[in-house]
């Protein structure tokens, strides 16, 4: 899925958005810096397995995913970070680690840290490590239908039961 396909989806939904092209960057915080987007507004996507089904978890670049919180929020028995071989075919045309948090494009449920709903605008990877899509949160919510839940925690160096992507 190229940036063009994502733009076509957003255009079909009548969504307002902007595309920011930047130098290649790979971590969410590097992308935010390269695209001149505040880290609290930059969304990073983690592909997860919730009771063995793929889903997207989206948290601010300044946070990390707490899988225990996601398990509770999803009412699941088990949540784990999906490995690349479990999802690489689900995101055709997207560069690894640059998937947008737009579940309807991939037939996946999206769980999003609810603090992002307080932001006027959010930004996220547009399928490449060079493109960011920025849009009003209200527009994102209208077209993506995320489940807003508390699934993030502040970045730490412990790494226990969390994923830092």
Q: All domains of the chain, ordered by start, with CATH?
A: 3-155 (3.90.960.10)
Q: How far is residue 78 from each of residues 47, 53, 82, 153, 160, measured CA to CA in Å? A: 14, 10, 12, 19, 16
Low-confidence spans in the chain with pLDDT less than 50: 159-165
Quick: pLDDT tens for 14-49.
999 999 999 999 999 999 999 999 999 999 999 999
Q: What is the pTM of this model?
A: 0.90
Q: What is the pLDDT of residue 165?
A: 45
Q: How many CB atoms lie within 10 A of CB 34?
A: 18
């Amino acid at each position: 899925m190229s940036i063009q396909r994502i733009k076509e989806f957003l255009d079909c939904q009548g969504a307002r958005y902007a595309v920011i092209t930047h130098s290649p960057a790979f971590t969410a915080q590097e992308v935010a810096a390269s695209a001149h987007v505040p880290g609290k507004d930059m969304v990073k996507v983690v592909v997860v397995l919730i009771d063995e089904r793929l889903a997207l978890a989206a948290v601010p670049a300044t946070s990390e995913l707490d899988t225990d919180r996601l398990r509770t929020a999803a009412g699941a028995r088990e949540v784990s970070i999906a490995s690349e071989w479990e999802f690489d075919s689900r995101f055709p045309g997207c560069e690894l680690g640059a998937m947008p948090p737009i579940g309807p494009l991939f037939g996946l449920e999206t769980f999003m840290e609810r603090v992002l709903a307080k932001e006027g605008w959010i930004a996220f990877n547009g399928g490449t490590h060079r493109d960011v899509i920025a849009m009003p949160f209200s527009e994102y919510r209208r077209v993506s239908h995320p489940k807003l839940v508390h699934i993030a925690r502040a970045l730490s160096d412990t790494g226990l039961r969390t994923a830092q992507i």
